[in-house]
Structure 1
Amino acid sequence: MKKLKNALLLFFLVFTIYPTIAQQAQDSLSTTTIDTVLPVTVIDTIPKTNDTIPKTSEKIDLTKKNYILGGITVVGNETISEQSILIFSGLVNGQAIKIPGDKLSSAIKKLWNSKLFSNVDVYATKMDGNTIYLEIAVRELSKVGKVEIKGIKKSKIEELSKELEFQPGSMLTENLITTTKNQIADKYKEKGFLKTKVTISTKPDTSAVNTENALILIDKGEKIKIKEITFHDNSMLSDNKLKKAMKKTKEKKIQNIFKSSKYIDDVYEEDLLKVVEKYQENGFRDAIIVKDSLSFNDDNTINLDITVSEGQRYKFGEITFLGNTVFTDQQLQNILKIQPGVTYNGKFLNERVKGDGTPESQDITNTYLDNGYLFSRVDLVETGADDNVIDIEVRIVEDEPATINKVTVVGNDVTNDHVLYREIYTRPGDLFSRSDIIRSIRELGQLGYIDPENIVPDVQPNYTDKTTDIEYSVAEKGSSQVELQGGYGGGAFVGTLALSFNNFSIKNLFNIDEYKPVPRGDGQSISLRLQASRFSRTYSVSFSEPWWGGKRPKGFNFSVYSSSQYAFDFQSRDVDKDQRLDIIGATIGLSQRLKWPDDFFTLSTSLNFQRFVLNDFFLSTFGYNNGTSNNINFTANLGRNSAGPSPIYPRYGSQFNVIAEVTPPYSSFNDKEYINLPDEEKFEWLEYYKINFMGRWFTQIYKDLILMSNAEFGFLGAYNQDIGVSPFERFYVGGDGMATGQFDGRQVIALRGYPNSSLTSFAGGTVYNKISFELRYAITLKPSASIYALTFLEGGNSFDSFKEFKPFELKRSAGAGIRVFMPAFGLLGIDFGYGFDDIPGTDEISGWQTHFIIGQQF
């Protein structure tokens, strides 16, 4: 009987409790979504949380769906206030809430997305009719306290610390630790430390709540170089040719002493593409890298093994043009420059059709863009490859030409709009032209107060009406220079005050409100200079306006100066101001941009006057101590300047000038017997003619690696052989090219590797020539400072007469240097040059010379 009672009790419990349990299980399964007050979610990035609901022992009925939120409490928070957590959640007392529903799931997601917590749970703590009370239980993430880095030099720790996101106060997450490890490892792998290991350990900071101090230990290992690069299955192109194609992945060998042999994965992948490109340039269109592998050697070097599949060599077959109506087949063929039968070169084909990425690229696509066809499209299609001969179709969709609707400039806070607009070649109503955009960038960059590296054109096409807007974004840079210095030398104090303002505004000279600190914005230049000492004083002022009248590019400039040099007794060290050389001078000039032969040409003319007055003052160039000499000359300069985009660091184009300077032939107007006259009468009115040629060409070798080629020639002649060549305006070759303390109008020509003026006779040369090659590499081209390094080869010489002129008898030199241009100080530099030839008058070669370069931009 007792057993029967127990069985009936068990049966009763099963049938009464099981439906309740089953229903709860079913409810539990039906509520495992983000719409529940249970802190569970389907979002993978959010950890699953406890599903403890209700929290109290009281029975809470959650069969209803709509509730009023009666109250929210927060537990588990240590450093983050309850109010902040409630603000993060977005929940407020009194709001209607559905369980399950979007508002609660959204609150949970917001708390997770704040990245402040490692766990979030939500509990129902009380029910009062339709009113529900919730509790948010959180566990805060630890914060990073002190961060210590070990394993690298102290000088590198500060630099690395600034780069990392692992900073004191950051939330300490596994993702932060992993990201930091990878970032450090990748940084050192790029420097050749392929086996870099990074460990990060943390421990609680007993002095701060919920904070852990971290130790980052870096084991760089040894720098690993590439010992050998081996190619497999290549028969048509040699190993050496393929290795040369890899521009930055080099073996550790003597011939690569100036190139890095470290392994960088991303660079290596790029160089593998260059290997394939090299094959395609030689007709192997189907060439591929089959596989590549890396193996370590015992001496901390690696070997790279690269297996290629060369495929067959192809030739160009028939090339046809489809869809072209603007240009004839022959015109497009002249641009393409590919004839049937030549070895297939995929790179060259693409460059002739799509462009090579340079501003001067001459290709089919850019030819259409230069003629307004902004919406044109040019595609290459291979139509056949029988017998290793590839037929090409150049398919062209010309569409309609686009006109320019609107042109705007942004970013100029100082420079007035009209100053920039007048330099822009894209005008509303004109046909779109890519070349005009490139030219506009160059002209803006040549101004001197616009950063040429940060001129960004934004072309905004409107296909519907076949128009486009163009917006030029510019960044202004400092262009004014202030020089205030004093020094003691030669027994005297020398003081200098010089002010040079580029982008000046003369019209606001008397407008006090525009002095910030001086009136600016109209593109004019003005400079003032005062220098004084016991021995001399000099005053000068100059002004230039590049757009005289404001409508056309006609420049106007003038300058006046006055200088006095006093006699100095080297024994008594006294200065006698009664013995002096006084010089006054003035220049007025006009310039005009030309439209023929093209609009890169400029014609500049100037009228110049100098008056030299000697009062018992000895100067070897003059040949007399008392008297007056006058120099009135007219100068014409025909120049062409297409170099750009920056005047400080041109990457392309050229500059050349042909300069003629002439004085009136005074001796032809009188009957004086000049051959017997003393120098003070013979040179009372200077007469001569002078011709200069200077040319520079800039060639982009690779990105910021630029080759500058330079050629110069100068000749000074006389009208009257009885007078002879003027002792003024002569050529002095050698040294840094800086003329200081000279008053005879001499032209100083730099030739590094030799002392200043050492390649010219005491009286000065009447003929000179010079050639030079300079390989430049830009280190930084920021507005605050442009810095580039250079190496050079050059040769030059001067001669006393044209009869002695031997153009190939050059004094040669080579060396290296660096240039720094800062707007406030101008151009600064230093060169180390080695002269290979002897200095005239000595039997020893010049050898190593150091030259300091100081120049100013006005």
Structure 2
Amino acid sequence: MKLLLNIKKENEDLGKQVNNLANISFLETHIKHVIAILLFTSSFHIQGQEVTYSDDNKYTLGGVSVSGNSSFSEQNIITTSGLRKGKEITIPGEDISKAIKKLWGYKLFSDIEVYVTKIEGNVAFLEIRLSDLPQLNEIKINGVKKSKKEKIIEENKLKKGTKVTENLRTTTINHLENKYKKEGYLNSKIHINTIDVKDSIKVARVNMVLNIDKGEKVKIKDIVFSGNEVLSDKKLRKSMKSTKKINRLRIFKRSKFIDSAYQADLSSVIDKYKENGYRDARILSDSLIINDDKTISLKIDINEGELYTFGDITFIGNTVYSNEYLSRLLRIKKGDTYNGVLLQERIADNSSPDARDITNEYQNHGYLFSTINPVEVSADNNVIDMEIRIIEGKPAYFNSVSVVGNDKTNDHVIYREIRTRPGQLYSKSNVVRTVRELGQLGFFDAQEITPNFNNPNPNEGTIDMEYSVKETGSSQIELQGGYGGGGFIGTLGLSFNNFSIKDLLKKDAYKPIPMGDGQRLSLRLQASRFFQTYSFSFSEPWLGGKRPVQFSASLSHTKQFLFNPQTGSPDKSRSFNITGITLGLAKRLSVPDDYFTLSQAISYQRYDLNNYNTGLFTFGNGYSNNLSYTIGLSRNNTNVDPIFPTGGSKFSVTTKFSLPYSLFDGVDYEALQEERDTNNAIRSDINSTPSEITDAQNRIAEIDQEKFDWLEFYKVSFKGDWYTRVFNNLDLVLKPSVEFGFLGAYNNNRGVIPFERYFVGGNGLGNQSLDGRETIQLRGYPDQSLSSQDGASIYNKFSLELRYPITLKASAKIYALGFLEGGSSHNSFRDFNPFNINRSAGVGVRIFMPAFGLLGIDFGHGFDALPGQTTKHGWETHFIIGQQF
């Protein structure tokens, strides 16, 4: 039998050639091959006879058979081909060509062969021989991380059962090579191998091995500009935020080539010209040159154009605001150098949601549907006259306001923080503020809060507002142990930050605890051989449920045992106990603005000393009472995430004071002080007898007990933090801070109290512990090492942190930081010098997990000597647990 039509899948080289032709598919190539055979075949032999064809050789199809390796039924293949028995066909002719085209069109076969098996008079019999395309059985990917493999399979549709065609191979290779080139891997190499699977299943299957060699990212050796005269190469390179040439001294900016970043930076170069008045500047060409040392150089040819200035600026369509008011917002005058970037920012600054621009001015006062377009109406003599065309539209009102995603937190806790209400005039600033305050609640992932604008209706002037939130674990458990202070210290703490006290008696509410009302409840126990501390606190942020007035209450008890240096054990017959209670109220203010909070608290502490003689307390047996009032003013407008703010600031000024008992208790403190000085002189006199010294010490203790029966003092503290994003497109945040504290006395004869003092140095943990001391963090030095043994009455501190987020996911927020800081402590203003400080620098990392709170470690280097020493301190490691953000 002679083969009439023999159409086979070409060898691998032909496949590659075909696929390199962008507009000719593998199928089309084979069809053309068929047509060529049909056109040029003029005769063939059957059983030794020569049969000559012409255009008039018509036959009746006597039958069609199917052979080969295919899982499809014979009837389906014949029906699909259209070559049915009894049909009149021409050999060669269009009927067979169409049949072949149909079969190829299904992209199911690797080989299609058509034979004439016999001819009886004018009746022809045909055989269709074909093989199925192999299916993908398994795929193995080499050269990439496990986490990336699933995405490669999904993007290139390499699922099990997929037909393995040459087109699939080629598109997969091209996709991956282009992807890696955009990421800076210009020398990436992709190879695909297939291995036939031999088993009892008749279906053709192959295993695929995808080998990926990304190579190294290509670094940029140089960036060369041509055609620029107005702006230097240095200024143009600086305008390219992400594309930088190799510089060993640069830390935060890469020199690796990323195509997508490079394309964006080319636009930044043009924006730089627009900022300087050259609005017609354009890039004529850019090229990439591969150097011998495997780096690249970028060559950019620029046409700068001519300098333009602003001419007349006219507002059209404005009825709500006058021309004069809009001109003050625009802040661009006739004669100013043309700056297209600045013009756009003053109309709509997309980099800041609360920027002072014309668009925000309209949207903050209800005009959600307003549009503002700057149009150049004239550019004669390089002077550009502008029209700011405004379509104000109808004022928009909130039709409905809803929240989705809160499964644990009760609706009223969220709705009381929302500043947008149904029927209220739309305000963009209120939407932005709502997102910020929902994030600061701590119950939701601040990165996932999304305001959705639904069903906007410009004709009716309505909008539906939906806030989408994602809840995070708001309760924390603190369970830790460690060695310190001469023994093992164990800590157990529970903090429920979204508690519901009203559901305490409801069984169904324990999942595992009553939650959802936004209250905070914490319990903490810390114990060692030398001390025990118990504390309880509760706060309700909306007392009464109608206004943002926070009520708080706390109760604590601490028991400290004196260390016996001879045995190294605690002496439990000598103890120092502190019991305290605090009640507080904090109210959000409306003036100067509603970021301010006024807080007030009344607290009482009882200090009991039982044979507890130390250098700090001259009376070893006795007690002191501390009844004080605290008032503070704070302001916090930091951006959404309280763990990693990217903008805004917070500060607080706090004053804590007691009653001036010396004004009305009838005690002559001047005489007492003179008597104390006399006894102190006797105690210090080498000629005094032991009994005289003992009597003098006892009298001093009695005097101090009388002076500190009820503590008399005032205390002023200030702290301020500022957060600034260094680059608009990078979450690199600079945080400068300043702190100051002063503890004073109303009556100098009574003196500064031995409690409430400042202890500077170390990680800052143990704040307000034991004797009421306030510990101040200053990394790079040992804990509490920069103050005297008795503490200080004045301190100041400056710090500068540079923070960068590693991940801000809800499960774990991690950021790295570098810091510079300095501080000092003093006992009087005569010694106080705010710039005579102990300096340090270092790096650290913070990890916040909802269940465990904030953890961290810092490595600090102290550049100055500790008190009493002459050489700088050097490196110190600090572990941070539960520190403020």
TM-score band by shorter chain is 0.7 to 0.9
Q: Which residue of 1 aligns with 2:359?
A: 365
Query: Is contact 1:374–1:402 with CA below 8 Å preserved after alignment?
Result: yes
The number of aligned residues is: 767
1:335-350 map, 5 Å: 335-350=329-344
Query: Relative to 1, partners in 2 of residues 1:374 and 1:121: Cα closer, same or farther, differing over 3 Å?
Result: farther
Inter-partner Cα distance in structure 2 for 1:110 and 1:477: 56
State whether structure 2 residue 160 is matched by structure 1 residue 169.
Answer: yes
Query: Where does residue 136 of structure 2 map in the other structure?
Result: 144
Shift of the alpha carbon at 1:116? 7.6
For residues 78-103 of structure 1, the C-alpha deviation after alignment (integer angstroms, 9 at most, x for no partner) is 5x999xx99xx9xxxxxxxxxxxxxx
**Is there any run of 5+ residues in structure 1 with no aligned partner, and where?**
1-42, 61-72, 90-104, 123-134
Counterpart of 1:181 (choices 173, 192, 201) is 173
Residue 650 in structure 1 maps to residue 645 in structure 2? yes
What is the rounded CA distance, in whole Å, between the counterparts of 1:718 and 1:678 in structure 2?
Answer: 17
What letter is aligned with 1:685? W
Question: Is this contact kept in 2: 1:629–1:684, CA < 8 A?
Answer: yes
Match of 1:235 in 2: 229
| 1:116-127 alignment, distance < 5 Å | none
1:562 and 1:583 in contact (8 A); partners too: yes
Distance 1:109 1:531 in 2: 81
2:667 to 672, 676, 693: 672
Q: Distance in 1 between matches of 2:196 and 2:575?
A: 82
Whole-angstrom CA distance in 2 between matches of 1:275 and 1:829: 41
Would the aligned equivalents of 1:250 and 1:256 in 2 still touch at CA under 8 Å? no
CA contact (8 A) 1:143 1:168 kept: no
Aligned ranges 1:165-564 → 2 under 5 Å: 165=153, 169=160, 171=162, 172-186=164-178, 188-189=180-181, 192-207=184-199, 209=201, 210-256=204-250, 258-460=252-454, 461-486=456-481, 493-564=488-559
- CA distance in 1: counterparts of 2:252 and 2:425, whole angstroms: 49
Distance 1:249-1:528 versus aligned 2 partners, 3 A rule: same
Alpha-carbon distance, 1:413 to partner: 0.9
Q: 1:485 to 1:792 in 2, by over 3 A?
A: closer
Judged with a 3 Å threshold, the aligned counterparts in structure 2 of structure 1 residues 400 and 490 are, in CA distance, closer, same or farther, namely closer
Q: Deviations over 1:732-774 (max 9, x none)?
A: 2222222279412222222222332232222222222222222
Q: What residue in structure 2 maps to residue 708 of structure 1?
A: 735
The answer as to whether partners of 1:149 and 1:157 remain within 8 angstroms in 2 is no
- SS of structure 2 residue aligned to 1:552: coil
| C-alpha distance in structure 1 between counterparts of 2:305 and 2:249, whole Å | 31
Mean Cα deviation higher: 572-581 or 746-755: 572-581
Report the counterpart of residue 730 of structure 1 in structure 2: 757
- Shift in Å, 1:284: 0.5
- Structure 1 position 690 matched with structure 2 position 715: yes
Q: Within 2, Cα distance between the matches of 1:539 and 1:851?
A: 25
How far does residue 576 in structure 1 lie from its aligned partner after superposition? Answer: 3.5
Q: CA deviation at 1:190?
A: 5.2
Verify: 1:611 aligned to 2:606, yes or no. Answer: yes
Q: Say if 1:738 and 1:141 are closer, same or farther in 2 by CA, change over 3 A.
A: farther
Greater CA deviation, 612-621 or 513-522? Answer: 612-621
Q: Is contact 1:826-1:857 (8 Å) kept?
A: no
2:775 is the alignment partner of 1:775: no
Q: 1:77 and 1:311, CA in 2 relative to 1: closer, same or farther beyond 3 A? A: same
Task: Give the aligned residue type for 2:582.
Answer: T
Relative to the length of structure 1, the TM-score reads: 0.83
In structure 2, runs of 5+ residues without a counterpart are 1-23, 36-58, 81-97, 115-126, 677-701
Aligned partner of residue 705 in structure 2, secondary structure: helix
**What CA deviation, in whole Å up to 9, does each residue of 1:288-326 have, x standing for no partner?**
000011111111111111100000011111212112121
State how far apart, in whole Å, the 2-side matches of 1:109 and 1:433 are: 61
* Pairs within 5 Å for 1:823-842: 823-842=850-869
Query: Structure 1 208/469 Cα, relative in aligned 2: closer, same or farther at 3 Å?
Result: farther
- SS across alignment from 1:802: coil
Alpha-carbon displacement from aligned partner over 1:353-410 (angstroms, at most 9, x marks no partner):
1124212311001100000011111110112112211111111111221111110111
> 1:648, 1:81 → 2: CA distance?
65
Query: 1:164 touches 1:180 (CA, 8 Å); kept in 2?
Result: no
Question: Which residue does the alignment assign to 2:45?
Answer: none
Deviates more, 1:323-332 or 1:234-243: 323-332
Matched, 1:758 2:758: no
The alpha carbon displacement at 1:59 in A equals: 7.2
Distance in 1, matches of 2:871 and 2:274, equals 54
Query: Displacement, 1:620?
Result: 3.5
Residue from 550, 566, 575 that aligns with 1:571:
566
- CA shift in 2, pair 1:509/1:77, >3 Å: farther
Residue of structure 2 equivalent to 1:158: 146
Q: Contact 1:112 / 1:120 at 8 angstroms: preserved in 2? A: no
How far off is 1:693 after superposition?
Answer: 1.1
TM-score by length of 2: 0.80
1:732/1:489 CA distance change after superposition, 3 Å: closer
Q: In the alignment, residue 789 of structure 1 is paired with which amino acid?
A: A
Query: Where does 1:6-45 land on structure 2 (aligned, <5 Å)?
Result: none
State the Cα distance separating 1:856 from its structure 2 match. 5.9
- Which has the higher mean CA deviation after the structures are superposed, 294-303 or 614-623? 614-623
Pick aligned residue for 1:717 from 744, 749, 755: 744
Percentage identity across aligned positions? 51
Counterpart amino acid of 2:192? I
Q: For 2:810 and 2:209, how far apart are their aligned partners in 1? A: 39
The aligned amino acid for 1:201 is: N
In structure 2, relative to structure 1, the CA distance for the partners of 1:727 and 1:218 (3 Å cut) is: same
Q: Any idea what the Cα deviations from partners look like across 1:212-263, whole Å, max 9, x if unmatched?
A: 2233333444542211111001100000000111111111134445531111
Greater Cα shift, 614-623 or 824-833: 614-623
- Provide the C-alpha distance between the structure 1 equivalents of 2:297 and 2:658, rounded to a whole number of angstroms: 72
| C-alpha separation in 2, matches of 1:248 and 1:270 | 9
Change (3 A) 1:595 1:74: farther
Residue 832 of structure 1 contacts residue 848 of structure 1 at CA under 8 Å; is this kept in 2?
yes
Letter of the structure 1 residue corresponding to residue 245 of structure 2: E
Describe the superposition over 1:596-647 as per-residue Cα deviations: whole angstroms up to 9, x where unpaired: 1111111111111111111112344333321111111111111111111111
Distance in 1 (CA, whole Å) between partners of 2:102 and 2:870 is 86
Task: Answer whether contact 2:27 2:104 (CA < 8 A) is retained.
Answer: no
Deviates more, 1:345-354 or 1:566-575: 566-575
Name the SS of the counterpart of 1:206 in structure 2.
coil
**What amino acid is the match of 2:715?**
K
Distance 1:136 1:823 in 2: 67
What is the identity, as a one-letter code, of the residue corresponding to 1:654? Answer: S
Query: Cα deviation per residue 1:457-516 (whole Å; 9 max; x = unaligned)?
Result: 111311221111111111111111112344566775544322111111111111111111
The alpha carbon displacement at 1:46 in A equals 8.4
Root-mean-square deviation (Å):
3.5
1:387 match: secondary structure: helix
Aligned pair in 2 of structure 1 residues 255, 392: CA closer, same or farther (>3 Å)? farther
Contact 2:364/2:427, CA 8 A, preserved across alignment: yes
Indicate yes or no: 2:775 matched with 1:748. Answer: yes
State the match for 2:831 in structure 1: 804
Partner amino acid, structure 1, of 2:196: P
CA, structure 1 residues 796+330, in 2 after alignment: closer, same or farther (shift >3 Å)?
A: farther
